[in-house]
């Protein structure tokens, strides 16, 4: 997986991998490659979700506590 993917593209690729792994016609070697790619994609998605959750938490805290002048410098 050399190029960066966005979250939605990664989820779509994960769905493709699951479908291929459920297919009896996929060879063991190809299954191992797909499984490895799937693990990497799922880890990347998890990281992205964690970052989004942190950002939402920060935004909520700002909204509840008001904005400070330093908060405007993003």
Question: What letter does residue 10 receive in the DSSP assignment?
Answer: H
- Count of domains observed in the chain: 1
74 in any annotated domain = no
What per-residue confidence (pLDDT) applies to 2? 41
16 in any annotated domain = yes
What per-residue confidence (pLDDT) applies to 1? 40
Q: What is the pTM of this model?
A: 0.71
36 in any annotated domain = yes
52 in any annotated domain = yes
Q: What is the DSSP string of 22-61?
A: H-TTS-HHHHHHHHHHHHHHHHHHHHHHHHHHHHHHHHHH
First to last CA, the chain: 31
54 in any annotated domain = yes
What per-residue confidence (pLDDT) applies to 70? 59
Domain that holds residue 48: 7-61
68 in any annotated domain = no
pLDDT (tens digit, 0 to 9) for every residue of the chain, 74 residues total? 445 679 999 999 999 999 999 988 999 999 999 999 999 999 999 999 999 999 999 999 999 886 555 555 55
26 in any annotated domain = yes
Whether 62 contacts 71, CB under 8 Å: yes
């Amino acid at each position: 997986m050399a190029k960066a993917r966005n979250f939605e593209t990664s989820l779509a690729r994960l769905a493709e991998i699951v479908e291929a792994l459920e297919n009896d016609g996929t060879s063991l070697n190809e299954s191992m490659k797909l499984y490895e790619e799937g693990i990497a994609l799922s880890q990347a998605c998890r990281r992205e979700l964690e970052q989004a959750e942190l950002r939402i938490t920060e935004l909520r805290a700002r909204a509840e506590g008001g904005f400070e002048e330093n908060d405007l410098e993003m």
